[in-house]
Amino acid sequence: TESGILALIFVAIMVVAMWKMFEKAGVEGWKAVIPFYNIYEAFKVFWGNGWLCFLLVVPVVGFIVALITNYKMAKSFGHGFGYALGLIVFPVVFAPVLGFNKDEYVGPLK
């Protein structure tokens, strides 16, 4: 159906965006393609500790951690709260921009 095709396009855009962000952070881009492992790697890149990804499965805490992760993603590339809000509300737009623009990875927010 149309919604299934749209969902696949959305997923493909997000995987390509994460691939590019991983490469900017010095991580092999192919790791963005593997389900669950890509989340672990993203937490290593944006939090500094991949094991924190398991907080996502805790009710309520997981939602808050996901929001904070978007903020840490924005900060890791030198952006602030406004960009993080864009990643939360329009991820299919803001994530590819983060992956393909000239911003450099500055490391996880301490």
Quote the pLDDT of residue 110.
64
Q: What are the two backbone dihedrals, phi and then psi, of residue 108, each rounded to the nearest 5 degrees?
A: -70, 150
| Strand, helix or coil for residue 36 | coil
pLDDT digits over 57-96, tens only?
Answer: 999 999 999 999 999 999 999 999 999 999 999 999 999 9
pTM (predicted TM-score): 0.91
pLDDT digits (tens, 9 = 90+) for 45-54: 999 999 999 9
Question: Which of left, alpha, beta for 26 (phi over 0: left; psi -120 to 50: alpha)?
Answer: left
| Arithmetic mean of pLDDT, 24-38 | 96
